[in-house]
Amino acid sequence: MSSPYFYRDSWVEVDLQSIKRNIEQLKRILPNGKKIFAVVKANAYGHGDIQVAEAALSSGVYGLAVAILDEAIKLRDAGIKAPILVMGWVRPEDVSVAIEKNIILTTFQKEWVKTAKQYVNGTLSLHVKVDTGMGRLGVRSKNELEELLMELNDKKFHIDGIFTHFATADEDNMTYYDKQKEKFNEFLNVLEQYVAHPLIVHSSNSAASIRFPNQMQDAVRFGISMYGLYPSPYVKEEKPIPLSPAFSLHSKLIHVKKLSKGESVSYGCTYTASEDEWVGTVPLGYADGWVRKFQGSTVLIHGKRMAIIGRICMDQFMVKLDNAYDIGTKVTLIGRQEEEEISVDEVADRLETINYEIPCQISYRVPRVYKENDQVVSRHNYLLC
């Protein structure tokens, strides 16, 4: 592949080997026969949905889980044959698309089922969602579940699974988690009276899957830790399995100059050189997801930390250099250079947010480069495809 597929000097690297390794680590601790849904919503947490889905499927995951129907359609239209579950809301009038594309939807409202029935031509596969304490989606009482199941008792519907979602599986205190588990079991007892065929029962996100692998039902939903990140600082400390981060972000110096003492940098002149000093320009800015809050943080050049100075612009920012580096010198914003590393967690701390948000916020303007065993295997440019 000689064509570069992109024409800028900033890119995300996704190590597909790490994704596979993280799935292998989960499989090592899960009891035999448990299914894994690879959670690839939000463009696989910013890593690239199709590429991650294919890597995960080649590692033996059972299916894919996304948040919205459009994400599922994109994967199906890319030729992916595995089961795809939409975990979020889909309008009842859109169910025919799901049937046509063989996509499994989530249901939790009796009225939704009534309306959807009019649009079903064929059989719609569904997972029932129960709310055991997350307070987001799902039926909340046994009675509500019974009414939903009665409404679903129709050849137009195939109940393929039932699931719930934990609110605190990544925390030290297990009280709420245990309560949710207990409530889920009560729902499952009701279900048994209405559905004779086996269902895929699942409740666990990354946190629950890696911390309590022996408590899993039939399947788990593996999201953040498939990408090599721990769901919380608590789980990171507990470190139930070793994880390899897949995501890194890089750029290059595209301009280098010497500022004289007293000269300023960027909008508002918030930085003024206190001595003669070298400054480099990096072609990445807040429109790429490298937001203004990163002013004052550091990037890696030649394995050393260099400070971001002045306001971050839409397309560029400046760094203070300890030397006159060549144009084209690699700059790492997230990832490793020599002995030094800037982790997604560090960057998330800087923004006072969680690691989940960081790869998600690196925008469509930044091309993704896929590697396996240090070799580039493919590239994706969202602008030119």
Ligand X SMILES: *Cc1c(COP(=O)(O)O)cnc(C)c1O
The three-class DSSP label of residue 52 is: helix
- Cβ atoms of 13 and 331 closer than 8 Å: no
Closest CB to ligand X among residues 287, 354: 354
- Cβ atoms of 90 and 105 closer than 8 Å: yes
Closest CB to ligand X among residues 6, 222: 222
Q: How far is the CB of 229 from ligand X (least distance, A)?
A: 9
Residue closest to ligand X, measured at CB: 223
Q: Which is the catalytic residue, given 20, 34, 41, 320?
A: 41
DSSP state of 216: -
34: annotated active-site residue: no
Residue 38: CA count within 13 A, CB half-sphere: 35
Q: Is 314 annotated as a binding residue?
A: yes
Q: Which is the catalytic residue, given 5, 114, 261, 267?
A: 267
User: In what helix (H) or strand (E) does residue 375 lie, and over which residues does it extend?
Assistant: strand 375-380
The number of angstroms, rounded, from the C-alpha of 237 to the middle of its chain's C-alpha atoms is: 21
41: annotated active-site residue: yes
Q: Is 350 annotated as a binding residue?
A: no
Q: Which residues bind ligand X (CB under 6 A)?
A: 39, 41, 87, 165, 205-207, 221-224, 231
Closest by Cα among 130, 134, 207 to 162: 130
Q: How far is the CB of 265 from ligand X (least distance, A)?
A: 38
Convert 335-363 into a string of H (helix), E (strand) and C (coil). Answer: EEECCEEECHHHHHHHCCCCCCHHHHHCC
Q: Which two tokens stand for residue 366?
A: 């930044």
Q: How far is the CB of 274 from ligand X (least distance, A)?
A: 44
User: In what helix (H) or strand (E) does residue 209 lie, and over which residues does it extend?
Assistant: helix 206-211
Closest CB to ligand X among residues 104, 318: 104
Closest CB to ligand X among residues 67, 313: 67
Q: How far is the CB of 39 from ligand X (least distance, A)?
A: 4
Binding residue ranges for substrate: 136, 314
The catalytic residue positions are: 41, 267
